[in-house]
Chain A
């Protein structure tokens, strides 16, 4: 193949893309859709449930303050600290619950695997940026709130290329 043919073929390959649809995602107007409600773990079978490893969610009525999540995190990121909570739960004698520092968390989800009481899950919320370091530390009360997520964009494939529709 000659040099001229090669260059024309290369240019032609690029020109074809004028007719193709835009592939990029217009964040934050569009947001990616994820499977499920976030990564969860079933201690009875020892297998997780697929989902995005985003911000955690803590169920106060399940947490016993056993510190297993905090111990798991010690070897990874040291992001979890056990703090006193004002409320009194029947199963939580010491009234301590995890507080998570998202400045340190690496979102590996091993704390969720460590919890034997179905108290800690992960959610689809990944927009955690903050203007201060203190804003990244989530207290047990903040972790209790279920995040609002409006994510609907999925990859669509057609003859004119892939898009985020």
Chain B
């Protein structure tokens, strides 16, 4: 009599030299995900990422709620970047519902989106610092992030998960005197993040740990379909704010930062350069924004699509291109909402980057991919 064991319990042939190591699933960094790493001594032979521990069923949930009530739960995947996560969904549902957006609302959205990008990158940078044992780099970004969180709180009424964007604009106008406060705090924020160069990016200890580790070549970066900072760190100049401008990005002067090395150092520096660029965009948007006017088109209760219709919209989030595919069948609820998230696409490159690296370099390579576990699992 023979038992057939389920795959997880089946005995594996053990190699004397190769050891299998489970990193996670309890928080290897932030959010639950597991890396199954096979090591030979100190060197990684193979790595198998195992996401899926924080699957929340966001896409299925979206099929049971109308276009407005989908907003609070669809921004949950990345609470620090909640405006950008929601952005493609809002752009898509505007097209399906046939709503025009006032000009001022577009500028408010761009400002909120850029502030949120900085907030996300600061959080990511804080964790990158603590991954490399640099406690100061954990404390400084976590503290300076407060300047921008304070702005978002004044603007939207919540420190995280703002629920601010709606089909047809934004939910409330800017508070009085916001432009001055925003300009003052963004200027100070820019001055602060420039100080990170001396302590972190020019620090020989950081350079020794991240330079030439996990090198992703230009061809591989394109072949694996990576996006955002990972793609730009490998020498591909691709930013959706320039290539497919949405809202008012066409009227703003946006530059991208590209580095050719493709190693962990380049991947950690590109988001920091992006933050400096975001500060420029915020200043431009504050200058060009119409000083008064409506910020929201009034919606009918329970808005519907016109019939069988589908739309795909994507935006540049803090991690890369984030797409949302919405299918409508003319009912109050969307028929299908599919999120195409950058975290999952960047994770595909991880096994190839870690092969041949030392185990001690694993945290720096893993977190430099700008990966957010909850977003990858949706």
Contact = CB atoms under 8 A, between A and B. Distances in A.
Interface in B59-77: 64-66, 68-73
B202 A113 contact: no
Given A50-B155, A108-B163, A75 B198 contact: no
B136 A14 contact: yes
Contact of A52 (B157, B203, B297): B157
Given A46-B296, A108-B71, A3 B204 contact: yes
A127 B69 CA distance: 26
B163 A36 contact: no
B172 A47 contact: yes
A34 B155 CA distance: 10
A53 B158 CA distance: 6
B175 A50 contact: yes
Contacts of B143: 23-24
A159 to B, nearest CB: 11
A106 interface: yes
Contacts, number: 105
Contact of A13 (B68, B69, B195, B294): B195
Range of interface residues on A (Cβ < 8 Å)? 35 or more
Interface string B226-253: 0000000000000000000000000000
A6 B201 CA distance: 10
A155 B202 contact: no
A7 interface: yes
B18 interface: no
Contact of B299 (A32, A46, A51): A46
Contacts of A18: none
A32 B159 CA distance: 12
A48 interface: yes
Interface in B287-335: 294-299
Contacts of B174: 50
Nearest to B70: A75
A149 interface: no
Nearest to A49: B172
B152 to A, nearest CB: 11
A35 B154 contact: yes
A14 B172 contact: no
A110 B202 contact: no
B146 interface: yes
A163 to B, nearest CB: 11
A7 B204 contact: yes
B299 A110 contact: no
B69 A10 contact: no
Interface string A28-55: 0000101110110000011111111100
A85 B155 CA distance: 35
B150 interface: yes
A157 interface: yes
- Top 6 A-B residue pairs of the complex, sorted by shortest distance between their CB atoms: A48-B172, A75-B69, A46-B298, A13-B198, A53-B157, A35-B175
6 contacts: A23-B143, A46-B298, A76-B72, A108-B163, A110-B68, A155-B150
